[in-house]
Amino acid sequence: MPYSVLHDPLLLDTLTWCEIEEIYFLVSQPEPYCFTAQYGLLDVASIKRRKFVELFRFERDDICELLTTLNIPDDVISAQRVRVSGMEALCMTLRRLAYPNRLCELEVEFGRHGTVICSVVNKVLSHIEYYFAHLLSDMNNHDWMTPSRMHEFAEVRVHFRWCAECTFSNVRFSQAVHARGAPLRSCWGFIDGTARRICRPTMEQQEFFSGHKRFHVVKYQAVMCANGIICELDGPYKGRRHDAGMLFDSIDCLVLPIRVQKV
C-alpha cells in the first residue's frame, strides 16, 4: 500500500488541510512530456556522407537541387506557428518517408516536437501534391517522354485512360531494356503493384487484409520507365485487391488496350 499523509499522525498534527491538499495536487499532477534532441537542431553539414544517404535516401549535394526543383519555400510554418527553414522541412519529409520510423525517433534527430514534425511534413507533402500530382496521374504530362528518347527499331502506341493516343518512336528505353537481355525490342516500362502496411482499420478489416502479406495494407500500382522514374501512379486500392484487378481498374484492357507494334 503506498504511503499516505493521512496515515501519519505527526504530519496530520503539523499540516493543515489546505497544505495537504496542495501536496496532493502537486504529487498527482502528471509530468509534462519532454523530448530531448541528441545534437540540437539539424545540421546538414555535420552529417557524414554515408549516414546522410542512409537517413534521407539522397546525396547531400542533391538536396539543394531537389529544394529548387520542388519549389520548396524558404520557410515553412507549422500549425503550431513554428517557423522551419525549407531545407530542414525537406529533410524532415525525406526522413519521414524513409520507412520505417516514428515521430518520437525523429524528435531526437531534428530537435523538434513530434507534432511540429508531423505538421511540417504534411505541409511539404501537400505542397508537392498540389504542384506535381499531375505528373503521376497521367504519363502524357511528362515532357521528357519525347520522340528523341525512343528506339529507332520500335514503335509504341499506347491508348491511355482518357482515349488520348500517343505515339512514340525510336525509344531509347526499349533499347536499354533489350540490351539487358529482354527478348522484347519494344518494352519501355514496367507495371507493378506495391503494398504499404497500415494499422488495422475499425471497419472493413477483411477488405484491407492482404493474404499474401498477412497484414492490413493499401496498395498502389506504378508504371516505371527504364530510367527508374515512375511516370504514373494509381491508387490507393484495398489490400485484398490483386495486381491484375488494379491493372483492370487503371487501364481498361477491353476498351483502352495497350498495343505494341514493331515497325
Q: For a pLDDT cut of 90, what percent of the chain falls above it?
A: 29
Integer Cα distance of 223 and 122 in angstroms: 25
* In contact, 195 and 187? CB cutoff 8 Å: no
Residue 140 pLDDT > 80: no
Helix (H, G, I), strand (E, B) or coil at 16: coil
The per-residue pLDDT for 19 is 79
Question: Of the ranges 92-96, 108-112, 167-171, which one carries the lowest mean pLDDT score?
Answer: 167-171
Integer Cα distance of 227 and 224 in angstroms: 8
Q: Please confirm whether the linkage preceding 236 is cis (ω < 30° from 0).
A: yes
The per-residue pLDDT for 192 is 87
Residue 17 pLDDT > 60: yes
Residues paired with 230 in a beta bridge? 224
Integer Cα distance of 58 and 106 in angstroms: 17
Look over the chain and give the mean of its residue pLDDT values, rounded to a whole number: 78
The per-residue pLDDT for 261 is 40
Instruction: Considering only CA atoms, give the Rg of the chain.
Output: 27
Q: What is the pLDDT of residues 72-90, one digit of tens each?
A: 999 999 999 999 999 999 9
The per-residue pLDDT for 262 is 38
Residue 94 pLDDT > 90: yes
The per-residue pLDDT for 164 is 39
Instruction: At 89, list the grid cell.
Output: 522541412
Q: What is the pLDDT of residues 221-263, one digit of tens each?
A: 988 877 778 888 888 899 988 888 888 877 644 333 343 443 3
The label of the residue with cell 527553414 reads 85
- Predicted confidence band of residue 153 (pLDDT cuts 50, 70, 90): very low
* In contact, 221 and 246? CB cutoff 8 Å: yes
> Which pTM does this prediction carry?
0.67
The per-residue pLDDT for 5 is 61
Helix (H, G, I), strand (E, B) or coil at 42: coil
